[in-house]
Amino acid sequence: MRPMASNERIDHLERLLEVVRGLTTAPDLESFLQTVINEATELTDSELSSILEYDATAEELRFLAMHWFQRDLLRPVGVPLEGSAAGWVYRQGQPLIIQDVRVDQRHFKVVDRVTKHVTHSLVAVPLIVGGQIVGVLEALNKKDNAHYTEEDLTILETLAALAAQAIQNVSLQRKVRATSIELAELERLKTDFIAIASHELRTPLGLILGHATFLRELSGEQYGEQLDMIIRNAAKLKTIVENLSDVDNIQTGAARLRNQTVSLSKIIDDVINTFQAEADSRKITLKSEYEQLTFHLDGDGVKLSIALSNLVKNALQFTEPGGHVTVSVEEDAGYYKVTVTDNGIGIPARDLPRVFERFFQVETHLTRRYGGMGLGLAVAKSMIELHGGRIWAESEEGKGSRFTFLLPAAQSQPFTPGSGPFLEQS
C-alpha cells in the first residue's frame, strides 16, 4: 500500500477546502453535489461515485447525484436497504470497504445490469446531519486494481459531511419557505377577519346602544339595572369594534393623520378624567405628574388620545384594588417622553417582547381573568408610530409595568429608531 506523499496530501486538503467554500457559493444543491462526487472520484482514484438519499415513502435509497452519463439510467432505480452495500451503510451508520464484490453478498448487482458497468470494489460512507443519517456517498472501482485505504475513507467521510450539510440546508430552506407561506395565509385570514368584523358589527352595535339608551331614559328604575348592563357591555363591544377598525385602517393604509397643534398635557388630563370614575370604583389611584407646561406638538389629537387611553385602560385592567396608575410627560432634547406606570400584576419576561402584537394575550384562554381581545396595545403602537415615534414596555412580574412612548416635539425632527436621547430598549 503506497503511502500518500506530502505534496499529494496538501493537494487533497486544498481541493477539500475548495469544496468547503462551495458549500456557501454553489448556485444550487445539484451543482454542489456534482462537485462532491467529482472530487470523490478523483481524490480516491475511482472510476465512479454517487450519492443516494433515503426515500421514506418507498423505504429505499434513491440516486440523488451521479455522473452525467448515468443520470437517465439511475434516476428510476431504487436501492433496497436489505441486500445492498449502500443499504447496509445506511442501516448501520458505519463506513464500508469491499475490496472484491464477488465475495460479498451485500453488493446490489441490479445497478450493474442497468448501467452495463461492472463493479469490482467499492467504498461507502453515511451522510449524517445532527446524528440523523440522510443518505450514502459511495465510490466504485479503485483504479489499477488497487485497494481502498483508510485515507480514501477519510476523504469520503469529509465529502459526505459537506454533502449532508448541503442537503440539510436545502431542507431547512424548504421548511422556511413553507412556513412563510403558511404564516402569510394566516396573516391574510387575520386581516380579513378584522376587516369583516369591524364592518359588520358596527351598524348592529350602534343600533343596540342607541335603542338601549333610549329605553333606559323611558324605563325609569324598573328595568334600569338590566338596561345599564346592556349599555355597559355594548360599550365594551363598541371599544373592541373601534380597535378592530383602527387596526384595519392601519393595515390597509387608510389611516391618515389630521395634524394640528395639540397639547399633550391636555390630552393627558382628558384621558385621566375619562377613566377617573372607573379607577375610583376599583379603588385605584389614577393621577398625572408633569410640570406646568403644555407640551405642544404637531399631531393628530384623536389618535394620540386613543393611544394613551389604551395604555391607561391596560394599566387599570391589570392593577389590583389599592394600586396606583400614574401618567407622566417630560421633554428631553427635542422629544416628548410619555410614561404610564402601574404597580399591577406585571408581565412575565417571556411575554414582554410580544405585548404589542395583535390579538396577543398574556394569559391563556383557559386561565385568563381579564377581558379584551389583545388589540389595545397594538393600536397604541400603531398610533404612536404613525407620528414617527416609538413605544416600548418594561415590567417586572408581580411589581408592575411601565409603558413609554417618545414623540418628536416638532415635525422637523422626525424620529428614527435608535436615535435621540432614548435608544432601543433590549
Nearest by Cα to 422 from 374, 400, 385, 390: 390
Three-state secondary-structure class, residue 322: coil
Q: Pull the grid cell for residue 411.
A: 415635525
Alpha-carbon distance of 298 to 21, in angstroms, equals 55
The model's pLDDT over 388-406, given as tens digits with 9 standing for 90+, comes to 899 999 999 999 999 999 9
Q: Could you give the domains of the chain?
A: 6-177 (3.30.450.40), 180-252 (1.10.287), 260-408 (3.30.565.10)
The model's pLDDT over 65-117, given as tens digits with 9 standing for 90+, comes to 999 889 899 999 999 999 999 999 999 999 999 999 999 999 999 999 999 99
- 116 dihedral zone (left: phi>0; alpha: psi -120 to 50; beta): left
CB 51 within 8 A of CB 37: yes
> What pLDDT score was predicted for residue 412?
38
CB 139 within 8 A of CB 48: yes
> What pLDDT score was predicted for residue 235?
78
The model's pLDDT over 303-360, given as tens digits with 9 standing for 90+, comes to 899 899 999 999 999 999 999 999 999 988 788 999 999 999 999 999 999 999 877 7
Alpha-carbon distance of 50 to 139, in angstroms, equals 7
Average confidence score pLDDT of the chain: 84
- pTM, two decimals, is 0.51
Q: Pull the grid cell for residue 170.
A: 436545502
Based on C-alpha coordinates, what's the Rg of the chain? 35
* Residue 417 vs residues 250, 386, 389, 395, 414: alpha-carbon distances, Å: 20, 13, 8, 21, 10
Q: 56-60, 215-219, 274-278: lowest mean pLDDT where?
A: 215-219
**DSSP code at position 28:** S
Alpha-carbon distance of 425 to 379, in angstroms, equals 20
Alpha-carbon distance of 99 to 363, in angstroms, equals 65
Q: Which amino acid is at 36?
A: V
Alpha-carbon distance of 346 to 320, in angstroms, equals 11
* Crossing angle for the helix pair 224-252 and 150-219, to the nearest 10 degrees: 140
The model's pLDDT over 219-247, given as tens digits with 9 standing for 90+, comes to 777 778 888 888 878 877 777 777 676 66
Nearest by Cα to 138 from 118, 122, 119: 122
Residues 132-138 have a mean pLDDT of 94
Q: 67-81, 107-121, 197-211, 287-301: lowest mean pLDDT where?
A: 197-211
> What pLDDT score was predicted for residue 28?
85
Taken in order 313, 315, 317, 319, the sign of the CA dihedral is negative
